[in-house]
Amino acid sequence: MLKDKLKQYNIILASGSPRRQQFFKDLDIDFEIRLKEVEEIYPSHLKASAITDFLAKLKANAFEEALHLNDILVTSDTIVWHQGRALGKPKDFQDAYQMLESLSGCTHEVITSVCFKTIEHVTVFNEVTKVTFNPLSPEAINYYIKYFSPYDKAGGYGIQEWIGFIGVSKIEGSYANVMGLPVDKVFEYLSSLTSK
């Protein structure tokens, strides 16, 4: 549907996330993947969506000199915001365990910011989804970390995996956002470009 309308643009997804790449494939648009190493450090005073907005723009700024007239660069960042702090990707088994233990029996927010950058404009928006976990037993947490791959996921879990099936009791907002991209908002934005 969008593919023909976006023919005049070159869509660049700057993300190594297989989930985000799959979402773009599922939107049935032509895009290319370009990656740049960015040190994801943000000012300590930032909270919640201000963190992901900052990091999404930081990732986009790495391409400042590399964009051409019809390029649309898409960058994104996701965090789990819980008890006043940001949970990123766990460093090791112990880190992943502590994250999941802290989420057990609680409600947290998954926040994703998306940045669209051209040589003329920068647009950033974010989406917040509330996720409630059942109490998780130590056995369940250990099983998930051992047999799945929590290390590339904010908060140490993937809602589309086993832990999501057995652990999530309630979700308020976009499911896709918890996987790392508010696809409906991305579709809406790209569609708006074709009507201008």
Active-site positions read: 77
pLDDT at 149: 84
Nearest to 19 by CA among 147, 190, 175: 175
Give the Cα separation of 181 and 114 in Å (integer): 8
Question: Global pTM?
Answer: 0.93
Instruction: Give the residue-averaged pLDDT of 25-36.
Output: 94
Euclidean distance between CA atoms 76 and 170, whole angstroms:
25
d(CA 18, CA 94): 24
Domains of the chain in sequence order = 2-194 (3.90.950.10)
pLDDT at 195: 63
Please tell me the total number of residues recorded for the chain in this structure.
196
pLDDT at residue 193, rounded to an integer: 85
What average pLDDT does range 68-80 have in this prediction? 96
What digits encode the pLDDT tens for the residues 99-139? 999 999 999 999 999 999 999 999 999 999 999 999 999 99
Residues 6+ apart with CB under 8 A from 106: 82, 83, 132, 133
* Mean pLDDT confidence for 16-39: 94
